[in-house]
Amino acid sequence: MIEAPQLYLTTPAGAQASALGPLLTEVMDRFPVACLRIRGGTDEDELGRLADLAREIAHARDVAVVIDDHLQLAQRHGLDGVHLTDGARSVRYARKELGPDAIVGVYSGSSRHDGMAAGEAGADYVSFGPVGETALGRGDRAPFDLFQWWSEVIEIPVVAEGALSRELIQEISAVCDFVAIGPEIWSEDDPVAALSAMWG
């Protein structure tokens, strides 16, 4: 039975470490973040700087850090694991490369089949989304009943992400373990206030 979901924070795509540091510190001091995910969208050098910064801030607060797809960066910068954006295909390889203790999460869009395949391959969690309306991706929303079915049948933790609002979070809270928030707050003038309005 799922209790209240935990907050899973994602960094802005293409973020610069120098600009993100103070904001990330403030958000993580104000809110109980369970996991921090570094999104791509910038060059490898900047991602490396971001990985070091995020690890330092998050690990000081006992928060795990994963990075989108970059197995080598995860290893090189002492991160806790990876978040695979290509579905179940790379799970076994990532597990082999990173070892049994690493976190391997998988984004499965709105596909129950892909989520189950990821779980069978050894994923530690599966994320579905977008939950809300968005022009990004294929436009297939992950429906409420997918999360409901998953939470009733599958033991692997499930993350809800994509185009979330306070109302959608309240609606989906009963059927997911984690709620991933990132783009929804970083585009605002005051990300801390935005997160407070969504999560508070």
Q: What is the pLDDT of residues 76-123, one digit of tens each?
A: 999 999 999 998 999 999 999 999 999 999 999 999 999 999 999 999
**Taking the model in full, what pTM does it have?**
0.95
Interval 48-54 mean pLDDT: 97
Q: What is the pLDDT of residue 41?
A: 85
Q: pLDDT per residue over 5-36, tens digit each? A: 999 999 998 888 999 999 999 999 999 999 99
Domain residue spans of the chain:
6-70+126-199
Q: What is the pLDDT of residue 6?
A: 97
Domain 6-70+126-199: give its CATH architecture: Alpha-Beta Barrel (3.20)
Distance CA 103, CA 71 (A): 11
Q: What is the pLDDT of residue 1?
A: 42
Neighbours of 36 (CB within 10 A): 27
Q: What is the pLDDT of residue 7?
A: 98
Q: pLDDT per residue over 114-173, tens digit each? A: 999 999 999 999 999 999 987 655 568 999 999 999 999 999 999 999 999 999 999 999
Q: Which residue in 199, 120, 126 sits closest to 160, CA to CA? A: 126
